[in-house]
Amino acid sequence: MITVPASPYPYTLDPARTALVVIDMQRDFIEPGGFGEALGNDVSRLAAIVPTVAALLALFRAKGWPVVHTREAHRPDLSDLPPAKRARGSAPVRIGDGGPMGRLLVRGEPGNAILPAVAPIPGEIEIDKPGKGAFYATGLQEILQARGITHLVFAGVTTEVCVQTTMREANDRGYEGLLVEDATESYFPHFKAGAIEMITAQGGIVGWSTPFAALKQAVGG
């Protein structure tokens, strides 16, 4: 067992049962011209975490520990897109509409791809999810169970939406979750801070959080 300095108290992981989950590091969310910018957001905030996410991936790969990548992605016929989700908000373009990088949040489109700097490599798990959480309408639970995974380390975007949702789903299923604070980000700094506070409140009601440097030192990276 390895103990990592964390909030609200040290996090202990089992190296043989730990996986990294990298949430939605997609061009549509992080690059100019994608869905995130279409909503009026400053995507440069999210782009700033790419080097840390890449370093986190390198750490897990060096250890030979499992890695899961997720994409928020819908089928081309949008049969897995609830009308309420597509209609939400006042963006000039919506999920399924054409954009500079193809149809927004549609499988196989250029903008739906994960950024090259943090892209999956052969053997890593890739999950296309139609919702905010990575467990909803995917086979993630069965994949993790088959590998005997009990501990999940989280990174990706955005902290308060898809990352927090997935951490809550994982908590409900009995996983011990650790969020790497500088490997996640929001378009809104106070949303990120609030999400981390909610995750770690009341003795880690959802999970733990720690900076990448603390995790790296603890696991001997």
Give 112's DSSP letter: G
At what angle are helices 212-219 and 50-63 packed, to 10 degrees?
10
Sequence-ordered alpha helix ranges (H) in 132-221: 140-147, 164-172, 189-204, 212-219
Examine the residue annotation and report whether 14 is marked as an active-site residue of this protein.
no
What is the C-alpha to C-alpha distance for residues 131 and 37, in angstroms, rounded to an integer? 19
Examine the residue annotation and report whether 172 is marked as an active-site residue of this protein.
no
- Selecting among 24, 128, 132, 192, the annotated active-site residue is 24
- Selecting among 28, 128, 162, 192, the annotated active-site residue is 162
Examine the residue annotation and report whether 192 is marked as an active-site residue of this protein.
no
- Selecting among 28, 129, 132, 192, the annotated active-site residue is 129
Which own/partner pairs from 102-106 qualify as long-range (CB within 8 Å, at least 24 positions apart)? 103/76, 104/28, 104/34, 104/35, 104/38, 105/28, 105/35, 105/72, 105/73, 105/74, 106/73, 106/74, 106/75, 106/76, 106/78
- The phi, psi pair for 54, rounded to 5°, reads -65, -40
> Which residues are catalytically annotated?
24, 129, 162
